């Protein structure tokens, strides 16, 4: 019998969207989803997974989606022409929402789920502290000017990715692209010294212009782009 991917109970299982379904509902023109593991083609509807019980889905996870919906309204649904924003965030809710999305994504790809599973009590809000330290970062994707058509090519693709290069101390690195925004999370192996983490994050932000979203802050100022729409498209290939 199938059990809920979050609480392990074998209640009636419901549909859970791999990409937030409000992306396609509220912003039809933004509804492009690339699932590299499935067929690498853009889809106009978000893929779904059916292994979450209604209790987890309706009570716990939907609260996180509410937060994601708020961010979508305030940020992701608007084209950015310049990398010059102040992003206001709730570190706890944003991290848990992203972890939920990545865990959902990982289940459809038959990845090793052990790290994601260790985060379930944190995602559900049962544990205040995460099981492993992690660093959350964010970047801005700016449009590419299409010279022949004299048009701006805006990044309108929603996609999840994995950090494939190995970084000292990182057990899992994940990416999420929501239109002009990219989020990255680096989860650290138990016992990775703070100075190693700081050194690696400094290197990443220098190389990529990703900005750390500190746990004790509520806002981050971003003034340099981390990539252009064209390189975001190429990265996805």
Interface contacts to Zn ion, rule CB under 5 A: 4, 6-7, 53, 56
Unique residue bearing structure tokens 């979050």: 6
Contact 225, 142 (CB under 8 A): yes
- Dist CA 33 CA 43 (whole Å): 5
Query: Between residues 7 and 32, which has the closer beta carbon with respect to Zn ion?
Result: 7
Question: Least distance to Zn ion from the beta carbon of 55, Å?
Answer: 5
Structure tokens at 149: 């058509």
Unique residue bearing structure tokens 């992003």: 87
Question: Least distance to Zn ion from the beta carbon of 12, Å?
Answer: 10
Query: Between residues 57 and 192, which has the closer beta carbon with respect to Zn ion?
Result: 57
Question: Least distance to Zn ion from the beta carbon of 60, Å?
Answer: 8
Query: Between residues 49 and 77, which has the closer beta carbon with respect to Zn ion?
Result: 49
Helices and strands (H, E) in the chain, number of each type: 8, 14
Torsion of CA 49, 51, 55, 59, to 10 degrees: -30
**Would you list the DSSP string of 88-101?**
E--HHHHHHHHHHH
Query: Between residues 34 and 53, which has the closer beta carbon with respect to Zn ion?
Result: 53
Question: Least distance to Zn ion from the beta carbon of 213, Å?
Answer: 28
Tell which residue, 130, 97, 94, 87, has the closest CA to residue 19: 97
Question: Least distance to Zn ion from the beta carbon of 5, Å?
Answer: 8
Query: Between residues 52 and 232, which has the closer beta carbon with respect to Zn ion?
Result: 52
């Amino acid at each position: 019998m199938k059990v809920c991917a979050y609480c392990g109970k074998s209640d009636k299982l419901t549909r859970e969207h791999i990409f937030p379904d409000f992306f396609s509902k509220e912003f039809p023109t933004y509804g492009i989803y690339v699932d590299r593991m499935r067929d690498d083609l853009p889809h106009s509807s978000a893929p779904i997974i059916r292994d979450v019980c209604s209790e987890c889905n309706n009570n716990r996870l939907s609260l996180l989606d509410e937060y994601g919906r708020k961010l979508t309204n305030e940020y992701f649904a608007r084209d950015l022409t310049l990398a010059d924003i102040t992003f206001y965030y709730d570190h706890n809710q944003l991290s848990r929402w992203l972890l939920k999305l990545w865990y959902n994504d990982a289940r459809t790809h038959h990845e090793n789920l052990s790290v994601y599973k260790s985060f379930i009590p944190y995602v559900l809000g049962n544990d205040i502290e995460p099981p492993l330290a992690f660093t959350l970062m964010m970047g801005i994707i700016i449009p590419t000017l299409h010279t022949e058509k004299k048009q701006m090519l805006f990044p309108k693709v929603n996609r999840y990715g994995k950090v494939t290069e190995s970084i000292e101390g990182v057990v899992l690195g994940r990416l999420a692209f929501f239109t002009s925004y990219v989020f990255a999370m680096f989860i650290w192996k138990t016992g990775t010294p703070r100075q190693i983490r700081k050194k690696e994050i400094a290197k990443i932000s220098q190389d990529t212009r990703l900005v750390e979203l500190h746990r004790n802050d509520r806002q981050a100022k971003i003034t340099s782009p981390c990539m252009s729409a064209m390189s975001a498209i190429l990265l996805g290939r």
